[in-house]
Amino acid sequence: PAQLAALKQRLADADLFLTTVRPAAVAALELDPQSLRPAHAQLCQTLIVGYAPPDENRPGHDLNFQAHHGLVQPPTLPTTLIADLAGAERAVSASLALLLERERTGAGGTIYVALADAARELAGPVHSGLTAPDGLLAGKLPIYRCYRCSDDSWVACGLLEEKFVRTFMVEAGIEEFEEAAFAEFFATETADHWVGWAEERDLPISRVR
């Protein structure tokens, strides 16, 4: 109780109150917007939740949010916490928008930032087919994929623009626009060699680390 009282005292002159637990837990401490607004009209409150209202009290973590929107291919787990990270960026933008609005109106406001929504937006290329298994950016194009090198390392080849394709094929001596020709080319040297080779020719080729 003493710590809760101290927190509420600090909120008296605070600009922003950000929470990262479920709203039911916030409300149980009487730290929800409805409880705080009468005494803290100036306060902006950002509630980071898993799912958007009306499911704001549904439990979940990054794995759940990515799985919900088709970003997980079992049994492999995600290589990074994209929903959490993208959600954090959204929370920054949303909080700044609240503060800007307060400067205009003089009154604080409330906003929910759902991590699952961030995952949904990032899943857009998947659901549009762009990065689906047979999509253009999922290995269908030989100019946008990964290739194994002579030392069993890999390079990522991102030659989407025509100027990059033209330069690469001329410099590499490749005449056929086929995966096999690209794979044969990269298999002759190490990844470090190809990265240096690409830098000299201003080509977007990088080592997979």
pTM: 0.82
Residue 63 burial (10 A CB sphere; 0-12, 13-18, 19+): middle
206 vs 58: CA distance, rounded Å? 41
At residue 132, the pLDDT reads 80
Residues of the chain with pLDDT under 50: none
CB 117 within 8 A of CB 83: no
At residue 34, the pLDDT reads 95
Locate 152 and state its tokens: 């069993």
Placement of tokens 């990265």 in the chain: 195
Pairing of strands 144-148, 205-207: unpaired
At residue 139, the pLDDT reads 85
Residue 76 burial (10 A CB sphere; 0-12, 13-18, 19+): exposed
CB 82 within 8 A of CB 62: yes
At residue 98, the pLDDT reads 97
Contacts of 200 (CB under 8 A, 6+ apart): none
At residue 126, the pLDDT reads 86
Residues in a beta bridge with 205: 157
113 vs 48: CA distance, rounded Å? 5
How confident is the model over 20-65, as pLDDT tens digits?
Answer: 999 999 999 999 999 999 999 999 999 999 999 999 999 999 999 9
At residue 170, the pLDDT reads 97
Among 188, 186, 185, smallest CA distance to 174 is for: 185
